[in-house]
Amino acid sequence: MSDQNSIPADIRVFLESLLEDAGMTITDELKEPMIMDLYTRLEKKMITDALEKMKPEEADEFVKLIQSNAPQDQVNGYISNHIPNAKEVFLASLTDFRTYFLSGTMQGNQVSQ
């Protein structure tokens, strides 16, 4: 599992803003585990979205790369070489993740009120 230093700074800011935008009040001791859980879920979504944009043989190779814990720059290079519009794909991943998270927390807030 990733430690807090392995979350890219811009992704950490994104995840922290999700918690704020959801109106969640979280103690410091619960915040970091929650950020880590969100990061794990976001990372899985982004990998899945990337795989959907690849040819089957490229996807197989990408999965092997991920499973081998390849360095992030190698993973990024593979993505850049095999998904021409990778930035747009990942922007959509972030937007979808945000929408899904906020709609779920808003529903949860309505139920508890």
Each residue's pLDDT tens digit, 47-89: 999 999 999 999 999 999 999 999 989 999 999 999 999 999 9
Residue 8 is which amino acid?
P
- Tell me the residue range of the domain where 50 lies: 4-112
Amino acid 105: pLDDT:
63
Amino acid 2: pLDDT:
45
Note the pLDDT tens digit of each residue in 9-33.
999 999 999 999 998 888 989 999 9
Q: How many domains does the chain have?
A: 1
SS3 48: helix
Least confident of 58-62, 63-67, 98-102, 104-108: 104-108
DSSP assigned state of 53 = T
